[in-house]
Amino acid sequence: MGYPADLTEIAGRELSPWLNSPIVVAFSGGVDSTVLLHLLVELKKCQKIKSLRAVHVNHGLSPNARYWVEHCQKICCEWGVPFHVEEVKVKNNGGQGLEQAARAARYEIFERLLSSGDCLVQGHHQNDQAETLLFRLFRGTGIDGMTGIPRSRPLGRSVLVRPLLSVSRDQIECYASKHNLPHIEDESNHDQHFSRNYLRHSLLPAVEKRWPGASVRLSALADEMVSMNEQLADYIAELTRSVLQTRPEWLLGNQPLVDCVKLQGFKPATQKQIIRFWLKSQELPVPGRELLDNLFTQAVNARVDATPLFCWPGCQLRRYQGLLVAARPSPESKPVGNVYWDWSAQPDFFHETLGILRVRARQIDDLGVQGVNLPVRILEIRTREKIDPSMKISVAGRAGRKTLKRWLQAFNIPPWLRNRIPFLFFKDEMVAAPGLWVCDNYRAQGEEGYQIIWSAPAID
């Protein structure tokens, strides 16, 4: 068979698990996405695809961007494909580079536009796979990066599929020529200041000239690495579970924390794999090799009583009482003015900075939780900075009167969380610290009283 039949068959086979899903083509108007769209139109004519539409993202980076939109709209109109265009302003913040910033903007749009069950398809091919593998190797990557471009992966509520990864650029261009498919050429694709363009136009052609078929073999290597990485991931997942703990009493809920002593029981290379897996499982960015080495020096292998803070873009890692805690960067604390709560009239109270407070009658299942007798008056909600540091507090079920600082230490509340806790006051007397303690004078007896539930505000 010639290329046309082959490519249609390949696309149909690769998309077979999603043929009944709404198919959305990321349509730039270039040769790759044009061929992909044409293949899917053919599959729809054969009734193998039920729903097909195209989305074009206009980054506005080229003086020809408006022409590209018109071209894509015309093609979709001729082929009977519903067309949608999204305008975006690319912001190159954080020094990530224009290519990466544009890519991030595209995927944000795709995630927003796609519904649950949708299938987004892109025209990446075999040569793209080879370029990606080399790009990551030269930039510095681990085993994960050597898996290259995945054939499919979750994308928000939908799935992203690349059905042409086994197809070469020559095959795609031959198909476009055979069918006289009009397509556009982004002038930036020839600017070799961009790393990928240098790989595409200079390095890979030289490699192919010396070692014909190198791109095919690099693509095959990426496929093999996917299988190996899956097996390694299962092994590392098991090891990671063995070093994890939770500390809900630290106001961290079920967030997984790494026990440094248990982690250090493994070889250094395995320790790094565990940290990478732990971060990914929380959808946090993984630091590069050099940063990861520094992380071990400054946090994992720090002295026993150290409480270091280690940061990289998108993540903050702390060590507290021998455990590693990772989270997205906390926003700067906003000053909280005078906040009052008429709890009897408004049992569910929301505040942007303080979070959500709820009052409910105690149930039989709550008898293990200390109840609170609330005054039938308006309560004041204070944060730590508004409380006299010398004030002594009596906590129900605990001996002695201590300052707030001492009680927070006694309850093992991590220092970086202490300023986020709301404390309930009646006049100038503390009533309770929701989720932590009830003060002696407001302690309920037996089955009496209320329970106060606090949900901290999201920090990402």
Question: Per-residue pLDDT averaged across 72-84, rounded?
Answer: 96
pLDDT surpassing 70 at residue 332? no
pLDDT at 5: 47
How high is the pLDDT of residue 363? Answer: 65
Q: Who's near 232: CB < 8 A, 6+ residues apart?
A: 143, 273
Average pLDDT over residues 248-263: 91
Task: Please give the structure tokens belonging to residue 254.
Answer: 């079920």
List Cα–Cα distances, 374 to 71, 441, 448, in angstroms: 68, 10, 11
> What CA–CA distance (Å, rounded) separates 357 from 289?
42
Q: What is the mean pLDDT of the chain?
A: 88
Q: What is the pLDDT of residue 219?
A: 85
Query: Span 130-149, mean pLDDT?
Result: 81
Structure tokens given for 301 = 């292998």
What residue spans of 244-385 are helical by DSSP H? Answer: 260-263, 268-281, 289-295
Q: CA nearest 355: which of 434, 253, 281, 261?
A: 434
Angstrom distances, CA of residue 123 to CA of 28, 142, 207, 346: 10, 26, 23, 54
Q: How many CA atoms lie within 13 A of 22 on its CB side?
A: 14
What pLDDT sits at residue 459?
A: 47
pLDDT at residue number 74: 96
State residue 2's pLDDT score. 41
Lowest average pLDDT, out of 88-92, 131-135, 416-420, goes to 88-92
For residues 388 and 306, which has the higher predicted lDDT (pLDDT)? 388
**How many whole angstroms separate alpha carbon 84 and alpha carbon 113?**
10
Each residue of 163-216: pLDDT tens digit?
Answer: 999 999 999 999 999 999 999 887 776 777 777 788 888 888 899 899 998 888
> Stretch 383-399: mean pLDDT, rounded?
93
186 is written with which tokens? Answer: 């982004």
pLDDT band at residue 81, thresholds of 50, 70 and 90? very high
pLDDT of residue 331: 64
Domains and their CATH numbers in the chain:
3-218 (3.40.50.620), 246-327 (1.20.59.20), 339-455 (no CATH)
Q: How confident is the model over 47-73, as a mean pLDDT?
A: 91
Mean of pLDDT values over 372-379: 89
Mean pLDDT score, 136-142:
78
Interval 344-360 mean pLDDT: 89
Q: Tell how strand 119-121 and strand 83-87 pair up.
A: unpaired
Q: How far is it, in rounded angstroms, from Cα 233 to Cα 273?
A: 9
What pTM does this model have?
0.62
Q: Compare 123 and 227 and report the one with higher pLDDT.
A: 123
